[in-house]
Structure 1
Amino acid sequence: MADAIGKVLATAICGQTQFMLGANVALNSALLIQEAGPAGHLTVTQRSWAISVTFAGALLGCVLAAALAPPLGARRLLLMLMPLAAAGSVAIYCGDGAFGWTVAGRLLVNTALGAGDGQARAYVAEVAAPAQRAVLSTAVGLLLFVGQLVGLALASVWRWPLQQLACTCAPAALGALGLLLLPDTAQWLMARGRDEKLAADALAFYRGQDFDTASEIDNIRASVEEAGAPLGRTWRALCRRSALRPLLLTAGQFFFFVWTGGFFLVVVTALVVGGLPLPLDDYQRAMLVPAVALLGTPPASPLLRRAGRLPLLRASGALSAVGCATIAAGDLMGAEHAARGWLALGGALVCLLPYSTLLTAITFNYLGELLPNSVRSLAVSLVMGWFGLLVFVSLQLYEPLLGAISVGGVFLVHAAVSLLQVLYASTLLLQRLTALPSSRFSSASSTLNLRRLPSSWKR
């Protein structure tokens, strides 16, 4: 019972980063809606900069995490980032929406969240038992949608600077206090050469007093010794084949995560459902996406526990292709067709549900299981940096693409990429792979179907 409470606490505490991320996404919509009205202070160009700095901060945060996560560990780094995010929101509120204060504050907030996103997910994945990782990863992801809904609800009655203050300071304070109660992960402690008793205590805290800590410590020690160097003190360990291959596979999966349609559906929701004859205001329309995701994710959790990840990724890609093609068909129909908007909404739901319920949980869970223990902190920062760069570049290209080939054409591109996701999950991507030596694979911490590996990888 105590070990279950520990994992729930870790999920809720680390999930405050996701809550703040969700509220920050909601802030983009609130800022655009409110600043476009008569009470707005920002010009069109300034609004664009206020939103673009979100992704610049996320990239800066990934660089910060790459430097600080190996020596500090995920828990200490998150503890340091919570007051940084709160300070940024205070700057925005004190500036009362002034452009300079807005840009500086949002840069600070998003740097903190960008640095903490991957580390929070990786911490939860490391402390969870293999059978529970998918469920806990899904729970962490749910807090992002909760943050979006709460942020949009508050923005409908408050000015957006006050919404930013409330949705950042409160979860940051809760997260910081909670992190003081949690131990560092056993993987990080042993990789930094700390006393093995501390690692055993950390394992007992999350796995229970009856857990075979000695066997798990042997597995972690073997992983660290195979890397040839302590965690984060050299890049040579990351360049080893046993670490580089999982890193590249995970980076490839994040490309499909961004471009299979669901991710950008969140960004261009108004373009897809804006023409629907629904009695909803701007805030309520913006709530459609997180509400659908929040309602659809819990029923899908049993699938994550019982079905293999690769079949689920293939199913997610296939459904996403159907949904994107339906959106494209609705957009390409003439404006006189009454069913045009409803067809687009149906396609959006078909695309969004596998994205929010399957693709997100599985992709981010790979940060905790595909990446090796010995270089995980550094590798997570690199993957999240790649993710941030991919999002930044893709968003810069997205508007010109929409202007050149329309929403329908862009979603045909998403449909094609979704089919490539099916091919990727069928050929290259692995079910699960840790960095334990081949003679030390443990069924308690790794499940690897060697028949899925190309013959050249088995040697």
Structure 2
Amino acid sequence: MSTAPLPATPPPQPSSTTARRTGRLFALTGAVVGVIYGYDTGSISGALVFLSKDFNLTETEKGLVNSVLVFGSILGALIGGKLADALGRKAAMLIVAGSYAVFVALSAVAPNVETLDAVRFLLGVAIGISIVAAPLYVAESTPARIRGASVAAYQVATVVGIVITYFVNWGLSGGGHWRWMLGLSAIPAALVVIPLLRLPDTPRWYVLKGRTERAVEVMATTDPDVDPRAEVAAVQVALAAESGGSVRSMLRKPYARAAFFVVGLGFFCQITGINAVTYYSPQIFEEMGFTGNGQNFLLPSFVELASLAAAVLAILIIDRLGRRVVLLCGIGTMAVMLAVLTVVFSTGDLHGTTTWVGFGAILLFTAAFNFGFGSLIWVYASEAFPAQLRSTGASVMLTADLVANLLIAQFFPSLMAKAGAAATFAGLGVLALAALVFAAFTAPETKGRQLEEIQDYWRNGGSWPDTSAPGPVGAGPLDNPAASSPSAP
């Protein structure tokens, strides 16, 4: 990493209105990618009902149609960080948008299940890259005071995509038009390339590549709250203090604790069962007794509308109440709702009031996920590590997330068939309780902290250093918060 000198004369500072407009464009572009990701994640839930009949799929083959996309996503997440570092956050986003457009179009015209699986694997690679690159792109381009909300907006956009999916699935279910269900997102995927071409890359990526003059220009354009030269200097200090961006670096002090946290959070985020609902909701609602007039296709739409409201609420409060409050409330509610579902399916009387109690539990479970886990995983993935480890850390976290997702996608249908719904949801409830304990003991509160300042938490053994104490806290130049982040409070 080059440590090029800062420009002697800072660029003209744009008006705060101009900076806010540019910041909104960054966030909007990331959000559109989130909408497409959400649509592609949820579209298979309705399409699977009909393509299973067309291709005569077994239960195992149904699971494979879902899990093969997750296999690709794991590969994409593993290479996403390196790609975002080598080519840039913006270039990675352009690759994602183009790949989305091509692969969803191909999935819509697949002549057989083997072709569909191959195309969905490639689509999964693009999705894996996107869930690393998009939150990074937004987090590194927005001011600290709104960063949590801006990154959480990616989750809101993802939920919007899923909501759109379910309404489209319901509208097309009468004719069984599964090819249209899968292929419609090719249009917005192609269109999102246009605003991406107008935007710069992030200031922190320009510093990573030694292009400090460009970094100062972009910082001045995107964040009116800081001195762009001082902030870029802080990023340079942070990068210079790090030994490299490898996974091995993450597993050594002082970031081994951070690595344990992000891997655990990523795994618990999915193993608690959210994508069992996303992928298989029509089947779940059918088992609950909702079979008439396409109810099993329509009800998931209302579930996701509630989830959208929950994700918006998280955005409104995440930078006020803090990350931990939002995360723990969300996971706790998930655990309670899984217990309710266990009781509902244990009764064996899925009619009338019991059926609607089950629907309410599914609705609140999904909303709680999007309020807590769903919003916070993107925030912590983009905040937990310093600049040189950030993309690698996001890749590792989201890979753990996707491994758990793979297990859910592949084995949930078989568990429901063999162990029964009550036992399946009881097991997920135990995992949710474990997730609550894990988050309570490991999740840091990063509200209002500069990205370069957050590493002091990990350097100080999992607690914030006393900024009133004289001298450095630990062994590195960044252990003094004043040196690491001139604009930090």
Q: Please give the TM-score of this superposition, normalised by the length of structure 2.
A: 0.81
Q: Is the 8 A contact 1:250 1:367 kept in 2?
A: yes
Structure 1 position 30 matched with structure 2 position 46? yes
Structure 2 counterpart of 1:223: 238
Shifted more, 61-70 versus 139-148: the winner is 61-70
Give SS of 2:45's match: helix
Structure 1 position 211 matched with structure 2 position 226? yes
In the TM superposition, what whole-angstrom CA distance separates every residue of 1:26-76 from its partner, at most 9, and x where no partner exists? 321232222245xx2454465544333211221222233244222112211
Shifted more, 392-401 versus 71-80: the winner is 392-401
In the TM superposition, what whole-angstrom CA distance separates every residue of 1:197-237 from its partner, at most 9, and x where no partner exists? 111112122113x63112211221121011034xx4x5554
Counterpart of 1:139 (choices 141, 153, 159) is: 153
Q: CA deviation at 1:122?
A: 1.6
Q: Is the 8 A contact 2:265 2:397 kept in 1?
A: no
Structure 2 counterpart of 1:318: 332
Counterpart of 1:330 (choices 331, 344, 348) is: 344
Q: CA deviation at 1:259?
A: 3.0
Shifted more, 8-17 versus 151-160: the winner is 151-160
Q: Is the 8 A contact 2:144 2:451 kept in 1?
A: no
Q: Is the 8 A contact 1:42 1:99 kept in 2?
A: no
Counterpart of 2:426 (choices 400, 403, 412) is: 412
2: CA distance, partners of 1:315 / 1:189? 38
In the TM superposition, what whole-angstrom CA distance separates every residue of 1:425-456 from its partner, at most 9, and x where no partner exists? 33222223877489989xxxxx97459xxxxx
Partner amino acid, structure 1, of 2:276? F
Q: Is the 8 A contact 2:384 2:390 kept in 1?
A: no
2: CA distance, partners of 1:262 / 1:29? 13
Structure 1 position 256 matched with structure 2 position 268? yes
Counterpart of 2:34 (choices 15, 18, 21) is: 18
Structure 1 counterpart of 2:182: 164
Shifted more, 82-91 versus 156-165: the winner is 156-165
Q: Is the 8 A contact 1:86 1:109 kept in 2?
A: no
Q: Is the 8 A contact 2:331 2:372 kept in 1?
A: no
Structure 1 position 173 matched with structure 2 position 190? yes
Counterpart of 2:201 (choices 171, 176, 184) is: 184
Structure 2 counterpart of 1:380: 394
Q: Judging changes above 3 Å, is the alpha-carbon distance between structure 1 residues 376 and 280 closer, same or farther for their aligned structure 2 residues?
A: farther
Runs of 5+ consecutive residues of structure 1 not aligned to the other structure:
442-446, 452-457
1: CA distance, partners of 2:75 / 2:377? 22
Structure 1 position 83 matched with structure 2 position 98? yes
Q: CA deviation at 1:330?
A: 0.9
Give SS of 2:206's match: helix
Structure 1 position 116 matched with structure 2 position 124? no
Partner amino acid, structure 2, of 1:145? V
Q: Please give the TM-score of this superposition, normalised by the length of structure 1.
A: 0.86
Q: Judging changes above 3 Å, is the alpha-carbon distance between structure 1 residues 272 and 29 closer, same or farther for their aligned structure 2 residues?
A: closer
2: CA distance, partners of 1:51 / 1:129? 37
Partner amino acid, structure 2, of 1:51? N
Give SS of 1:219's match: helix
Give SS of 1:335's match: coil
Structure 1 counterpart of 2:299: 285
Q: Is the 8 A contact 1:20 1:171 kept in 2?
A: yes
1: CA distance, partners of 2:65 / 2:420? 26
Structure 1 position 68 matched with structure 2 position 83? yes
Give SS of 1:52's match: helix
Q: Judging changes above 3 Å, is the alpha-carbon distance between structure 1 residues 423 and 450 closer, same or farther for their aligned structure 2 residues?
A: farther
Partner amino acid, structure 1, of 2:126? A
1: CA distance, partners of 2:168 / 2:454? 52
Counterpart of 1:298 (choices 312, 317, 321) is: 312
Q: Is the 8 A contact 1:22 1:144 kept in 2?
A: yes
Partner amino acid, structure 2, of 1:252? G
2: CA distance, partners of 1:35 / 1:372? 45
Q: Judging changes above 3 Å, is the alpha-carbon distance between structure 1 residues 289 and 349 closer, same or farther for their aligned structure 2 residues?
A: closer
Structure 1 position 352 matched with structure 2 position 352? no
Partner amino acid, structure 2, of 1:259? I
Counterpart of 2:407 (choices 393, 401, 413) is: 393
1: CA distance, partners of 2:354 / 2:330? 24
Q: Is the 8 A contact 1:431 1:448 kept in 2?
A: no
2: CA distance, partners of 1:337 / 1:161? 34
Structure 2 counterpart of 1:246: 258
Shifted more, 343-352 versus 4-13: the winner is 343-352
Q: Is the 8 A contact 2:323 2:445 kept in 1?
A: yes
Partner amino acid, structure 2, of 1:192? K
2: CA distance, partners of 1:53 / 1:150? 23
Structure 1 position 7 matched with structure 2 position 23? yes
1: CA distance, partners of 2:222 / 2:290? 50
Q: Is the 8 A contact 2:38 2:157 kept in 1?
A: yes
Shifted more, 420-429 versus 76-85: the winner is 420-429
Shifted more, 368-377 versus 271-280: the winner is 271-280
2: CA distance, partners of 1:354 / 1:438? 27
Structure 1 counterpart of 2:70: 55
Give SS of 2:250's match: coil
Q: CA deviation at 1:298?
A: 2.2
Q: Is the 8 A contact 2:251 2:259 kept in 1?
A: no
Q: Is the 8 A contact 1:23 1:148 kept in 2?
A: yes
1: CA distance, partners of 2:322 / 2:377? 13
Q: Judging changes above 3 Å, is the alpha-carbon distance between structure 1 residues 204 and 32 closer, same or farther for their aligned structure 2 residues?
A: same
2: CA distance, partners of 1:206 / 1:182? 11
Q: Judging changes above 3 Å, is the alpha-carbon distance between structure 1 residues 283 and 405 closer, same or farther for their aligned structure 2 residues?
A: closer
Runs of 5+ consecutive residues of structure 2 not aligned to the other structure:
1-16, 467-472, 475-489
Q: Is the 8 A contact 2:64 2:410 kept in 1?
A: no
Structure 2 counterpart of 1:455: none
In the TM superposition, what whole-angstrom CA distance separates every residue of 1:122-179 from its partner, at most 9, and x where no partner exists? 2111212222122222321122122223233334338333343331x22222222211
2: CA distance, partners of 1:33 / 1:438? 46
Q: Is the 8 A contact 1:223 1:435 kept in 2?
A: no
